[in-house]
Amino acid sequence: MRWTPNKVTALRVAVGFAAVSLFGRGPWANLAAVGLTVAAIALDAVDGHMARRKNLATPIGAQLDILGDRLIENVYFTYFAVVGMVPLWLPVFFFARGAATDFLRGLALGAGHSGWGAKAMLETWWGRALVASRWSRGLYAAMKCLCFCYLGLELALARGPVRLLGGMTADARGPVRVGAHVLTWMTAAFCLLRGLPVLAEGWRFVSGVGRVRRVKRIAQGAM
């Protein structure tokens, strides 16, 4: 089978879902899930690198890559919220932020702006630096990977009826919980920061949709 960036994207989503399905099935399954989580995040870098190196980047591929990111984020944070390891507002925030930015990206795609090249949606240097630069994407992927793996290791080592470190006390788990909150807050804050350029620059496509509709109504009236 000839691998393409889109197939790698589909694979990383499958690996992410497989990892989440293993959480909560015992400490060793939790550790296996952590390993699969690292693999899923690593595959996120592979599909982008393959698209750039082999000149296989397409507008649809860019949208599929974003869809893969949304699926991974939502399934992980929703699971950890359900088991009480993160607050419920966290998956709600990621869902709302993703829905808003993806709506604007969809409008931009309809206007012929997508991806990271000359026809990219973002036109300002600071917007591209925060969203499209390698350091920003790499840092965000690393933060999510660290957050998911930290919570998975906590689940395996310190929580649940069966734990690898059964002797850990409530006092020992205190700093662990603080670390989880710090990581989730930092990840959410950086997610919001990366979404601001899309929200700020994307509104021009909302007004553009209005102009297109007015032109259509005028043309229909003339007929």
**Per-residue pLDDT for 185 more than 50?**
yes
22-70 confidence digits (pLDDT tens): 998 888 888 899 999 999 988 888 877 787 777 777 767 777 888 888 9
For residue 214, pLDDT over 50 is answered with no
Dist CA 102 CA 64 (whole Å): 11
Nearest of 180, 177, 191, 192 to residue 149 by alpha carbon: 180
Output 59 or 136, whichever has higher pLDDT: 136
> Cα-Cα-Cα-Cα dihedral of 116, 121, 125, 130, to 10°?
-70
Residue 134 CA neighbour count, 13 Å, CB half = 5
Letter string b/e over residues 23-43, b meaning 16 or more CB atoms within 10 A of that residue's CB: bbebbebbbbbbebbbbbbeb
What the chain holds in terms of domains, given with CATH numbers, is 5-222 (1.20.120)
User: Picking from 9-23, 80-94, 103-117, 140-154, which range would have the lowest pLDDT averaged per residue?
Assistant: 103-117
The answer to whether 124 and 196 are in contact (CB under 8 A) is no
